Amino acid sequence: MNMPAAIDQKNLRVGLLAGLGALSMLGLGYAAVPLYQLFCQVTGFGGTTQRASAEEAGLAERLAASAGAKEISIRFDGNVASDVPWTFRAEQVTDTVQVGVRDMAFYVARNNSNVPITGTATFNVEPEQTGKYFNKIQCFCFTEQTLQPGEEVRMPVLYYIDPAIMQDENAKDVQQITLSYTFHKAIEPES
């Protein structure tokens, strides 16, 4: 075997490996956001809340009733991004709920501009370790919200705290959970 042919073969192999590596990185880049969202939803990482059905809420209520669930304080926080000309706040800043029992909170949003604005809410809970136990059954944050100029609306959140929180060494002694929302302008679809 002559030397230039062996070098060409090695260069081809290195080039193919580098190309495969680049394609792999590109694929991971596209998959990173959905995989991270899935990870946060499953684990409650970063204060990500859970989504629950009415049936799951009913089961939690039965478990809480049989276990003698404790009460916990919920604090509600509302914010808007700097480019959203809305007023957004919780109707009631704090509430005390029994773990496992469904409760409803209301937020109030008002469009202070003279044009319709569509917003989407991001959310989290603090302390972070309680995120996996904060279950939302119904929430305005599941869909985009459009407010007409000067329009004011009440937006409900139906939720419960999973009784499993009482078994978690890192979360069972938490006295208050903060549910926080921030409204951002929705991304306009390109025409």
Share of the chain above pLDDT 70, in %: 73
What tokens were used for 191? Answer: 């025409």
Q: What is the pLDDT of residue 47?
A: 46
- Answer yes or no: is pLDDT of 2 > 90: no
- Answer yes or no: is pLDDT of 101 > 80: yes
Peptide bond preceding 127 in cis form (omega within 30 of 0): yes
143: region left, alpha or beta (phi > 0 left; psi from -120 to 50 alpha): beta
Residue that has been written with the tokens 């290195």 in this structure: 14
Q: What is the pLDDT of residue 22?
A: 75
Phi, psi of 72, rounded to the nearest 5 degrees: -145, 145
The answer to whether residues 95 and 73 touch, using CB atoms and an 8 Å cutoff, is: yes
Q: What is the pLDDT of residue 3?
A: 67
Cα 54 off chain centre by: 19
- Answer yes or no: is pLDDT of 55 > 80: no
